[in-house]
């Protein structure tokens, strides 16, 4: 499938370029149109082999990879790209395929979204990751910048820097996806206060995006696992059965 803007050097220096790699042409077309409507420039590829050379030769600002593709799947594409580039990558995964999600994150993907997905959610995730990657850069394809100060959070051993999407525990870095980061930030903002699953979903997802309760539970489970990799005694995220979750800085 031909690219939306070709493989030539970037002609839109004031625009953010998003690369889309998926063997489903309907998804490529629909997502590309939606992103262009938000002010982004898009480049689309229908297989990993074609995408690899183009991405390395002319890197985008962010890429969205489907995992299950012929010739070269998204996992292998990410491995190969990471040999040359450190661009942010979002994976599109099959619904409830936890193994794909975990493997992708271990390879260095910045976030994942399960199919079928909301275009609004994808746009929100792209903006959040771009904001994390370059806090001073525009996130909607324009030159507008937000001047609002972003306050860091310190809760016991936890340190959160929202401007840099940085999390440390006892001085050790903890790598979180955008969704995990937003949930943790909502919990840590008010230690000891119980946050319901609905409140955490509101914090992590745009309005009108439906996700079920188990989605939040899955993110909490992965967050705990990541923190326990740097501190086996980590227990700051507490479950209150039937009510929700809270953060304890003790």
- Candidates 3.10.20.90, 1.10.3720.10, 3.90.1640.10, 1.10.10.10; correct CATH number of 153-247? 1.10.10.10
Q: Which residue has the higher pLDDT, 18 or 182?
A: 18
Name which of 189, 244, 250, 202 is nearest 220 in CA terms.
244
Cα 179 to chain centroid, rounded: 7
The closest of 182, 163, 158 to 230, measured between CA atoms, is 158
User: Which pLDDT score is estimated for 100?
Assistant: 58
Closest Cα to residue 173, out of 88, 87, 231, 245?
Answer: 231
Give the tens place of pLDDT for each residue, 89-143. Answer: 998 887 555 565 566 566 667 888 888 788 888 898 898 888 776 655 555 554 4
Question: Among 63, 58, 62, which Cα is nearest to 7's?
Answer: 58
pTM over 0.75: no
Pairing of strands 41-45, 89-94: unpaired
pLDDT band at 12 (very low <50, low <70, confident <90, very high): very low
> Between 244 and 128, whose confidence is greater?
244
Q: In 3D, which of 135, 137, 132 has the Cα closest to residue 39?
A: 137
Q: Would you state the pLDDT for residue 6?
A: 39
pLDDT at residue number 96: 55
Q: What is the CATH number of domain 17-133?
A: 3.40.50.2300
Task: Give residue limits of the domains in the chain.
Answer: 17-133, 153-247
């Amino acid at each position: 499938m031909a690219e939306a803007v070709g493989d030539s050097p970037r002609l839109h220096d004031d625009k953010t370029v998003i690369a889309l790699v998926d063997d489903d042409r309907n998804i490529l077309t629909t997502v590309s149109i939606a992103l262009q409507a938000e002010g982004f420039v898009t480049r689309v590829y229908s297989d990993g082999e074609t995408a690899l050379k183009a991405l390395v030769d002319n890197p985008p600002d962010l890429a969205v990879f489907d995992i299950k593709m012929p010739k070269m799947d998204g996992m292998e594409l990410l491995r190969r790209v990471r040999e040359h580039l450190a661009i942010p990558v979002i994976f599109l995964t099959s619904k409830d395929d936890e193994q794909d999600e975990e493997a992708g994150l271990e390879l260095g993907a910045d976030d994942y979204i399960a199919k079928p997905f909301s275009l609004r959610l994808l746009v929100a995730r792209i903006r959040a990751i771009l904001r994390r990657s370059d806090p001073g850069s525009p996130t909607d394809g324009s030159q507008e910048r937000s001047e609002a100060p972003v306050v860091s959070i310190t809760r016991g051993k936890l340190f959160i820097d929202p401007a840099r999407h940085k999390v440390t525990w006892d001085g050790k870095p903890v790598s979180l996806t955008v969704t995990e980061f937003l949930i943790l930030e909502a919990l840590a903002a008010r230690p000891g206060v119980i946050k319901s699953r609905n409140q955490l979903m509101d914090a992590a997802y745009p309005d009108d995006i439906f996700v079920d309760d188990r989605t939040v539970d899955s993110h909490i489970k992965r967050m705990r696992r990541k923190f326990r990799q740097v501190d086996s005694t980590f227990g700051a995220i507490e479950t209150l059965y039937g009510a929700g979750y809270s953060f304890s800085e003790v």
